[in-house]
């Protein structure tokens, strides 16, 4: 019976991968869900986004309560990023915020590398930014899909316990890296929780299914960054830029639009790279915190604050918002616009905090 169950899961996993390749562009992306002091429950989902220009979402005003929560979350994440491991542990009531995932367990837990469908979704949309930053576009792409059953250990340090059979979730983490320049690019991602909800329902966790530990973008991209650094002989601690390419998450869109309207007045225009809008912690603290606390911003913060032992203490003090070609004007925060088709990009600047 166990063999039949695993065979079914294997078949289901492979079927999910095939369907994802061909039907992905027609699916709607799911939002990140994060907590301030806990772990991410969701990752940025670009997996099912429509990459054509007819993917239109109306720009609508984020509620005051939701925007306030984003500001509060961003402020908390900002403070945690600047703390040492010991300080963050004390701040969190004695429990370390360091992720248990510090070593590559992709293959062990049922993740396969797919190179045939690994062309970056962002294409040439970031080329102007690369040129402006003096970065040579020497990309390393890592495309991982949780498509086969894995061996799931509870002991992630010594792996001495008996593993359980893990169900393939169909989740995907595809991210790109420019190692020598310290660039991380979030490209095409669908986290485990969202994938499992789609395949087994919202209550999947209550029916006894065992899945991979690599569930959040922040953990996956960290392991992929280590892989890229190993391949390119780079320094793991050399993270300088985090691009969140092509924002389709509607919650993030609404928070970004509200932040820009608050900072720059009514009808601000998000321009191309040379006319980009910037928010800094020093000049626009609340607006900056709101974007940092958005679904897409929080994942970047979690990457830094939960992997300090190998990345070092790093923080984010600035975010650039831009589009690749056609400027996007926020004409109203209450309706209208082609927000997803505008291909809005976020660039978070990473640096060591000033002591």
DSSP secondary structure of 23-38? HGGGSPPPPP---SSS
Mean pLDDT of 31-60: 36
Nearest to 115 by CA among 149, 136, 145, 137: 145
DSSP state of 63: P
Nearest to 311 by CA among 98, 9, 30, 29: 98
For residue range 79-126, list pLDDT tens digits in order. 999 999 999 999 999 999 999 998 899 999 999 998 766 789 899 999
Contact of 280 with 316, CB cutoff 8 Å: no
Mean pLDDT of 253-276: 95
For residue range 127-144, list pLDDT tens digits in order. 999 999 999 999 999 999
Assign 60 a pLDDT band (cuts: 50, 70, 90).
Answer: low
The pLDDT of residue 31: 34
Domain boundaries, the chain: 2-351
Cα of 327 vs its chain's centroid, Å: 24
d(CA 20, CA 5): 22
CB atoms under 10 Å from CB of 342, counted, come to 24
The pLDDT of residue 116: 65
Nearest to 74 by CA among 305, 243, 339, 257: 305
Task: Write phi, then psi, for 138 (nearest 5 degrees).
Answer: -110, 85
Lowest mean pLDDT among 47-56, 77-86, 303-312: 47-56
CB atoms under 10 Å from CB of 248, counted, come to 25
The pLDDT of residue 332: 67
């Amino acid at each position: 019976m166990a063999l039949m169950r695993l065979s079914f899961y294997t078949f289901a996993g492979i079927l999910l991968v095939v369907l994802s390749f061909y039907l992905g562009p027609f699916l709607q992306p799911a939002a990140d869900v994060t907590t301030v002091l806990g772990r991410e429950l969701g990752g940025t989902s670009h997996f099912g986004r429509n990459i054509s220009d007819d993917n239109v979402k109306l720009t609508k005003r984020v509620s005051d309560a939701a925007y306030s929560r984003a500001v509060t979350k961003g402020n908390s994440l900002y403070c945690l990023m600047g703390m040492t491991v010991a300080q963050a542990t004390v701040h969190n009531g004695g429990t370390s915020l360091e992720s248990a995932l510090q070593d590559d367990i992709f293959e062990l837990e049922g993740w396969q590398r797919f190179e045939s469908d690994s062309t970056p979704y962002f294409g040439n949309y970031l080329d102007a930014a690369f040129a402006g930053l003096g970065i040579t576009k020497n990309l390393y792409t890592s495309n991982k899909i949780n498509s086969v059953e894995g061996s799931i250990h509870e002991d992630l340090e010594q792996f001495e316990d008996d593993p359980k059979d893990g169900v393939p979730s169909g989740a995907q983490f595809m991210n790109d890296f420019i190692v020598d320049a310290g660039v991380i690019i979030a490209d095409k991602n669908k986290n485990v929780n969202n994938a499992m909800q789609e395949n087994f329902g919202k209550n999947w966790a209550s029916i006894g299914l065992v899945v991979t530990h690599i569930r959040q973008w922040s953990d996956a991209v960290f392991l992929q960054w280590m892989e890229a650094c190993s391949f390119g002989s780079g320094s793991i601690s050399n993270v300088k830029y985090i691009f969140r390419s092509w924002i389709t998450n509607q919650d993030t869109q609404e928070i970004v639009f509200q932040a820009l309207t608050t900072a720059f007045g009514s009808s601000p225009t998000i321009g191309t790279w040379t006319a980009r809008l910037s928010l800094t912690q020093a000049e626009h603290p609340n607006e900056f915190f709101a974007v940092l606390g958005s679904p897409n911003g929080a994942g970047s913060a979690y990457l830094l604050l939960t992997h300090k032992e190998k990345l070092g203490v790093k923080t984010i003090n600035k975010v650039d918002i831009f589009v690749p070609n056609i400027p996007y004007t926020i004409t109203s925060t209450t309706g209208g616009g082609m927000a997803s088709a505008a291909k809005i990009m976020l660039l978070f600047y990473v640096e060591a905090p000033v002591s």
